[in-house]
C-alpha cells in the first residue's frame, strides 16, 4: 500500500528535481522501494509520450488549432520535414504539384498518419482538402485497405454538420478528397475568446448532436471528438462541422510498429475507452459532454500533469461543477453535461437523437423553466484506493493494458457482432427529468393552397420578409431536403446558388410610382417602364431553382460563342471609357448582345455538356424569379434598404467605381448573389408587356412565366447598371429591348437552371479518345511519305502532314496516332486543285475530310497546284471551304462564330497568286481562335498568351511559297486539361533527340513543321501528353533519323 500511495503522490510532481527530493525523503533509504516506484514512474511517463502525436512544429500548431484543414495554417511546401515526392509535376506555376485530377495549391498540415493538402478539382472547378495516407504506411496492405474501407463508410454520412467526402482513391497513393472548410476550429474559438456565450454553446451543441446523430445512424463511432476536430465555417450563419475521421483509424493496425504513435486524446476519452472496453455510440456522447464543458467553462474537465493522471481522472473522478466556474450557465445545461459525463454508459443519455431533442426543446425555449431535478446522484470523489484498483494491481502490466486500449482517431464502423451486444437501448420517453414539464410541440401555421403539393417533411417556404440569416437558413434547409448543394460551380466555372421556393410582393406600389413620376414625365420610354411596375401584386414561386451568383463574363461568353461583342474591351467601341485602357476585361460582364444571342449561348453551352434537348439545362430566369432573388427577403426599394445611401459601396452604380468592373467586385445580397442591382442590366426570359402578368382568378400569381403572345418581340431586362443613378437600381426596376436588337453597353445576362438540371450542368466535359501511341515521319520525300502511309493501316491513323518551307525539294513532316477503333481512313493525292473536287461528293458519302495540304509548284498557278487530303470515316459535321484567292482570315472568323472548329488551314503562293482552303468540324461550345499567316516570332508570342488563358494549341500548318516562313494556327479551350508544349528552332538532330526523350517521358508530337534557314532545316513541334504516360512507352517504330535531310 505504501508503494502505491507514494507512486500517486510522486506522479503529480512535474518538476524532476522536486520529485527526486520527495522520493528520497519518502523512501528513507529503502532502495528496493525506490527502484519499484521509479520503474512505475518511467512506465507511466512512457505512456504519456507514447500517446502524444508525433507532429512537426507546423502540424503541432495545426493540432493545437484543430484540423489540418485550417486555412490559416500555412506550412512551407518546401519544408524538409514533409516529403511531397508522391506528387506529379504541377500543371502551372501557381500549383506545387498534381495528384490525379487535383492541382495541389499548398500544404495545410501533416502528422504521423498522413498529410493534408489544399487542392483544386479540375473536373468540378472547386477547392477541396485532400488527406493523403502517410507514405510509410501506404506501402503496407492492411493500412491501405482500412483507409479505403473506413473512408467509404464515412462517405455514407451526408449531413451539413459532418465534413463531406467527395472522392476516394486507393492507388497508387491512397488519398481522400473532401470538403474544404474555410474557417477556424472550435479550439481556436475558445483560445481566442475564452468561454463562449451560452447562446453560442447551445447552437454549436445542437449542430454537433445533429451531425453525430447522422453518423451513428449509419453505424459509425467517431472515437476522437474534441474541439480541435470541430470546425466553424466562415459564413453568415454559424455552421459547425465534425471532421478528422477515417485517417488514423485506417492505420491502427500499423501504428505501433510503424509510427510509434497511438492516436486519440485522453482528456476527451470516455471511461470505457480509457479502460480498453468495447465501445458503442455512448462513448462519443461522453466525449461530447467534455467538449460542452470546455465551451462553457474554458477549462478541461479532467486535468492532470501526466497522461496517466488524466486517464485515471476520466475513469474515476467527477469534473469540477460547472456552476462554480460559469455561474451564468443554465441549470438544465449543467445537468445535461453531468448526464453525458456519467461513468456508467447505462446512466448516460442513450443516443445522439435524444441529446439533440433535449437541446432543441430546452435550448430554444423562450419561457423560463423550473430548475430540473437531478437525474442521478453525483459521482463521489474517488478515494486513493480506487486509484490503486485502476492502475497498480498489476503494476506495469496494468499500464500496458491502458496503452494498448486507447481508442484511435476515426469514425469506426461497428462490427455486426459488436453491434448485437453493445447497441444502446431505445431512447427513454423522458427528456431531462420526469419532474420537468415539457410543452407540446407547436403546430406549423397552415400553408396556403398553392403549397399543398409539399411533403409533410418539406422545409417552410421562404415567405417575405426575412433577413440575411433567414435567407441562408432557407437555402440550407432546402438544399439538405433536396440532397443538393446550396452552392456549386459548373463545368464552365460559373458559380450557382440555390434559391428556395417562396412568396413576395412583386412590383411597385401606386403611391411609390406617383412619387417617382417627376423623374420620367418627359420621356415616353422611361415613363412606360415606370408605369409598368404596377400594380404591385403577390407572387408565389413554388419550385426551387439555381441562379448564377454573377453575370456571364466576357471570357465565358467568348469561350462558348468564339466572339466577344462587348463595348468595354481592348479594341471595343467604348475602350476610351475604361478607367484603365490597358485593363484586362475578361472578367467584366459581357454586354452589347441581343436577347437572341443569349439563347444561342444557352444552346451551345448545353451541347458542350452533352445535354440533349429533352434534358433540363440552363435558361434565363423568369422575371418573377429574378426579382425574388434580387430582393432576398427584403420589401424595401433596394435590397440594401429604402435610402439611396444604403446602396453606395454595395453595388456598382452611378459610375461609383469609375466604370464597369469585374463581376463580384461588390457585396452579395442576402441570397449570396452579386451585381443584382449594378454593373449591367440583365435579360430575363419574359416578353415585355405594359403590365405584369397578373393571375385573374385569385390574390396570388403562381409561378408566372410572363406574356405568351409570340407577336411581342420586346424582352424584359432587370437590375441596375454601372452608369445610371440609383433610381435604376431599384429591385422592381424593369426596361425592355427588342429581342433582335443589339443592346447598349449596359445590358448583359446571368444563367438559371432548374434543380433537376444540377447533375447535368456539373458533369465534366468528356474528353476525346485517348492517344496512347504514335508514329511520325520527318524530312521525307513524296515517295517516302506514300510508303509510310501504306505502313500505317490497321495500326495508326494519319493526323497532320506539313510541307517544309523553303526546301528546293518537296519534303514532308507527318504524325499519325494510334487506331483506337477509329477510322478507316484514306489519303487522296491530287495533281491539280481544280479537279480535286471531282471525287469529293463520292468520298463524303462515307468519309469526312480531316486535313488538306497544298504542295509548292513554282511554275504552276496556285489554283492548279498539287496537294493531298486526309479523309477519316468516323467524323461528323465536317466541311471544307476553298477560299482560293480571297482572304482566309475573315472566312475562318465567320466559321467559328457559327460553332465550327478549324482543323486545317492550307495556304500556298506561287506565280504572284495565292490559293487557300480550310477544313472545319462542327464543335459548338468550344472556344477557339485562329490566326492566318503569322511570322515565327508572332507565333512564338501567341503561345504563352493562350497558355495564360488556360487554352492550348490545337493545330498549326506551315504556309507554302511565302517570302518568309509563316504559319497558320488554331488555339482552343483546354477543356480536358491536357498537358501541352511547343518547341521552336530545333535543328533536325535536336528534334530527333527531343523526340526520343519525350517519347520515353510520355509525350508525342501532335504536329511537326520545318523550314530552311541558311541551308539548315529548323523544326517547330507541338507536343501533348500520351494517355499512358505513367507506363513505360513502347520502343520507337523506327530510327528517327531514317529519313535524313
Query: Which residues have a Cβ under 8 Å from the Cβ of 214 and sit 6 or more positions away?
Result: 157, 158, 159, 161, 162
5 annotated to a ligand binding site: no
Is-contact 528 521, C-beta < 8 A?
Answer: no
Which set of grid coordinates corresponds to residue 960? 507554302
Gap between the Cα atoms of 779 and 812, Å rounded: 6
Closest CA to 1032 of 993, 1005, 1000, 994: 1000
Give the number of other CB atoms < 10 A from CB of residue 260: 11
Q: How far apart are alpha carbons 991 and 1041 in whole angstroms? A: 10
For cell 480498453, what's the residue? 276
- The rounded distance, in Å, linking the Cα atoms of 181 and 160 is 11
Cα–Cα distance for residue pair 934/930, rounded to 1 Å? 10
Q: Is residue 311 within 8 Å of residue 386, measured between CB atoms?
A: no
Q: Which residues pair with 851 in a beta bridge?
A: 870
Q: Which of 907, 906, 932, 930 is nearest to 919 (CA)?
A: 906
| Residues contacting 1029, CB < 8 A, separation 6+ | 1001, 1002, 1003
CB atoms within 10 A of CB 555: 19
Q: Residue 805's closest CA among 869, 870, 855?
A: 855
Closest of 221, 201, 204, 202 to residue 212, by C-alpha: 221
Q: On the CB side of 875, how many CA atoms lie within 13 Å of its CA? A: 24
Say if CB 288 and CB 329 are below 8 A apart: no
Inter-residue contact 147 to 127 (CB < 8 Å): no
Contact 904, 957 (CB under 8 A): yes
- Cell 471531282 locates to 838
Q: Which of 27, 14, 132, 29 is nearest to 82 (CA)?
A: 132
- Three-state helix/strand/coil letters over 82-96: CCCCCCECCCCCCCC
Cis amide leading into 414 (omega within 30):
no
Q: Are 119 and 98 in contact (CB under 8 A)?
A: no
Query: What nine digits make up the cell of 226?
Result: 474534441
β-partners of residue 175 are 132, 169
- Which residues does residue 232 pair with via DSSP β-bridges, in sequence order? 184, 240
C-alpha cell at 936: 515565327
The H-or-E segment that residue 22 falls in is: helix 16-27
Binding residues for ATP: 131
Binding residues: 131
Amino acid at each position: 500500500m505504501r508503494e502505491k500511495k507514494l507512486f500517486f503522490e510522486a506522479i503529480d510532481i512535474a518538476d524532476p528535481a522536486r520529485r527526486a527530493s520527495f522520493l528520497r525523503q519518502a523512501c528513507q533509504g529503502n532502495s528496493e522501494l525506490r527502484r519499484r516506484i521509479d520503474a512505475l514512474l518511467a512506465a507511466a511517463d512512457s505512456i504519456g509520450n507514447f500517446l502524444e502525436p508525433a507532429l512537426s512544429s507546423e502540424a503541432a500548431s495545426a493540432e493545437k488549432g484543430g484540423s489540418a484543414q485550417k486555412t490559416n495554417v500555412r506550412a512551407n511546401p518546401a519544408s524538409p520535414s514533409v516529403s511531397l515526392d508522391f506528387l506529379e509535376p504541377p500543371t502551372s506555376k501557381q500549383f506545387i504539384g498534381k495528384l490525379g485530377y487535383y492541382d495541389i495549391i499548398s500544404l495545410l498540415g501533416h502528422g504521423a498518419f498522413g498529410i493534408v493538402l489544399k487542392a483544386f478539382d479540375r473536373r468540378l472547378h472547386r477547392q477541396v482538402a485532400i488527406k493523403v495516407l502517410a507514405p510509410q504506411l501506404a506501402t503496407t496492405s492492411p493500412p491501405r485497405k482500412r483507409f479505403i474501407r473506413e473512408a467509404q463508410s464515412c462517405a455514407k454520412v451526408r449531413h451539413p454538420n459532418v465534413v463531406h467526402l467527395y472522392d476516394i482513391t486507393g492507388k497508387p497513393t491512397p488519398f481522400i478528397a473532401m470538403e474544404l472548410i474555410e474557417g477556424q476550429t472550435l479550439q481556436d474559438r475558445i483560445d481566442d475568446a475564452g468561454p463562449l456565450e451560452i447562446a453560442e454553446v447551445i447552437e454549436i451543441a445542437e449542430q454537433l448532436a445533429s451531425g453525430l446523430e447522422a453518423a451513428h445512424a449509419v453505424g459509425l463511432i467517431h472515437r476522437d471528438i474534441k474541439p480541435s476536430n470541430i470546425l466553424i465555417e466562415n459564413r453568415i450563419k454559424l455552421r459547425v462541422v465534425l471532421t478528422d475521421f477515417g485517417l488514423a483509424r485506417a492505420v491502427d493496425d500499423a501504428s505501433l510498429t510503424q509510427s510509434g504513435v497511438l492516436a486519440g486524446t485522453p482528456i476527451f476519452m470516455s471511461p470505457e475507452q480509457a479502460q480498453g472496453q468495447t465501445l458503442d455510440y455512448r462513448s462519443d456522447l461522453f466525449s461530447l459532454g467534455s467538449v460542452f464543458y470546455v465551451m462553457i467553462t474554458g477549462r478541461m474537465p479532467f486535468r492532470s500533469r501526466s497522461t496517466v493522471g488524466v486517464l485515471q481522472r476520466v475513469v474515476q473522478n467527477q469534473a469540477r461543477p460547472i456552476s462554480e466556474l460559469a455561474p451564468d450557465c443554465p441549470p438544465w445545461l449543467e445537468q445535461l453535461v453531468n448526464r453525458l459525463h456519467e461513468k456508467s454508459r447505462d446512466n448516460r443519455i442513450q443516443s445522439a437523437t435524444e441529446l439533440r431533442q433535449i437541446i432543441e426543446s430546452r435550448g430554444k425555449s423562450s419561457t423560463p423553466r423550473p430548475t430540473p431535478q437531478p437525474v442521478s446522484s453525483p459521482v463521489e470523489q474517488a478515494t486513493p484506493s480506487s486509484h490503486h484498483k485502476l492502475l497498480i494491481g498489476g503494476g506495469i502490466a496494468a499500464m500496458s493494458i491502458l496503452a494498448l486500449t486507447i481508442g484511435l482517431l476515426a469514425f469506426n464502423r461497428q462490427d455486426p457482432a459488436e453491434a448485437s451486444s453493445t447497441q444502446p437501448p431505445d431512447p427513454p420517453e423522458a427528456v431531462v427529468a420526469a419532474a420537468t414539464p415539457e410543452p407540446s410541440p407547436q403546430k406549423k401555421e397552415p400553408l396556403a393552397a398553392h403549397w399543398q403539393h409539399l411533403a409533410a417533411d418539406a422545409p417552410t417556404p421562404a415567405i417575405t420578409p426575412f433577413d440575411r440569416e433567414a435567407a441562408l437558413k432557407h437555402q440550407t434547409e432546402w438544399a439538405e431536403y433536396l440532397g443538393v448543394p446550396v452552392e456549386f460551380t459548373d463545368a464552365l466555372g460559373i458559380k450557382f446558388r440555390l434559391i428556395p421556393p417562396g412568396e413576395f410582393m412583386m412590383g411597385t406600389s401606386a403611391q411609390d410610382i406617383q412619387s417617382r413620376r417627376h423623374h420620367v414625365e418627359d420621356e415616353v420610354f422611361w415613363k412606360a417602364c415606370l408605369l409598368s411596375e404596377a400594380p404591385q401584386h403577390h407572387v408565389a414561386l413554388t419550385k426551387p431553382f439555381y441562379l448564377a451568383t454573377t453575370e456571364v463574363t466576357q471570357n465565358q461568353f467568348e469561350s462558348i460563342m468564339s466572339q466577344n461583342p462587348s463595348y468595354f474591351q481592348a479594341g471595343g467601341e467604348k475602350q476610351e471609357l475604361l478607367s484603365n485602357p490597358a485593363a484586362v476585361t475578361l472578367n467584366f460582364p459581357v454586354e452589347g448582345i441581343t436577347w437572341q444571342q443569349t439563347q444561342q449561348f444557352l444552346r451551345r453551352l448545353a451541347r458542350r455538356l452533352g445535354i440533349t434537348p429533352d434534358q433540363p439545362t440552363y435558361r434565363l430566369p423568369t422575371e418573377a424569379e429574378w426579382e425574388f432573388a434580387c430582393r432576398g427577403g427584403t420589401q424595401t426599394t433596394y435590397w440594401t434598404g429604402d435610402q439611396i445611401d444604403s446602396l453606395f459601396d454595395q453595388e456598382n452604380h452611378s459610375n461609383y467605381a469609375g466604370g464597369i468592373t469585374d463581376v463580384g467586385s461588390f457585396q452579395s445580397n442576402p441570397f449570396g448573389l452579386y451585381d443584382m442591382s449594378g454593373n449591367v442590366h440583365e435579360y430575363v426570359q419574359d416578353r415585355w408587356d405594359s403590365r405584369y402578368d397578373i393571375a385573374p382568378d385569385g390574390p396570388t400569381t403562381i409561378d408566372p412565366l410572363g406574356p405568351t403572345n409570340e407577336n411581342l418581340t420586346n424582352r424584359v431586362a432587370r437590375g441596375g447598371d454601372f452608369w445610371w443613378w440609383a433610381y435604376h437600381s431599384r429591385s422592381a426596376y424593369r426596361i425592355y429591348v427588342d429581342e433582335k436588337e443589339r443592346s447598349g453597353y449596359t445590358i448583359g445576362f446571368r444563367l438559371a437552371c432548374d434543380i433537376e438540371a444540377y447533375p447535368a450542368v456539373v458533369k465534366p466535359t468528356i474528353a476525346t479518345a485517348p492517344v496512347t501511341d504514335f508514329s511520325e515521319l520527318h524530312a521525307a520525300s513524296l515517295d517516302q511519305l506514300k510508303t509510310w502511309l501504306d505502313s500505317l493501316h490497321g495500326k495508326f491513323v494519319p493526323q497532320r502532314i506539313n510541307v517544309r518551307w523553303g526546301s528546293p525539294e518537296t519534303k514532308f513532316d507527318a504524325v499519325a496516332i494510334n487506331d483506337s477503333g477509329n477510322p478507316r481512313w484514306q489519303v487522296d493525292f491530287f495533281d491539280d486543285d481544280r479537279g480535286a473536287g471531282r471525287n469529293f461528293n463520292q468520298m463524303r458519302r462515307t468519309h469526312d475530310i480531316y486535313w488538306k495540304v497544298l504542295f509548292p509548284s513554282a511554275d504552276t498557278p496556285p489554283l492548279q497546284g498539287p496537294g493531298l487530303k486526309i479523309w477519316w470515316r468516323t467524323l461528323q459535321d465536317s466541311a471544307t471551304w476553298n477560299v482560293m484567292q480571297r482572304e482566309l482570315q475573315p472566312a475562318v472568323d465567320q466559321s467559328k462564330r457559327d460553332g465550327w472548329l478549324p482543323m486545317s488551314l492550307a495556304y500556298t503562293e506561287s506565280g504572284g497568286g495565292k490559293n487557300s482552303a480550310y477544313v472545319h468540324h462542327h464543335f459548338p461550345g468550344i472556344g477557339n481562335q485562329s490566326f492566318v499567316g503569322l511570322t515565327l516570332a508572332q507565333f512564338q508570342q501567341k503561345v504563352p498568351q493562350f497558355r495564360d488563358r488556360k487554352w492550348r494549341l490545337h493545330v498549326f500548318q506551315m504556309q507554302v511559297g511565302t517570302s518568309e516562313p509563316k504559319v497558320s494556327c488554331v488555339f482552343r479551350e483546354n477543356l480536358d486539361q491536357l498537358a501541352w508544349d511547343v518547341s521552336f528552332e530545333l535543328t533536325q538532330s535536336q528534334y530527333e533527340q527531343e523526340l526520343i526523350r519525350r517519347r520515353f517521358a510520355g509525350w508525342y508530337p501532335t504536329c511537326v513543321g520545318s523550314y530552311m534557314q541558311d541551308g539548315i532545316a529548323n523544326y517547330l513541334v507541338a507536343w501533348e501528353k500520351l494517355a499512358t504516360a505513367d507506363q513505360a512507352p513502347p520502343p520507337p517504330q523506327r530510327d528517327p533519323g531514317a529519313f535524313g535531310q
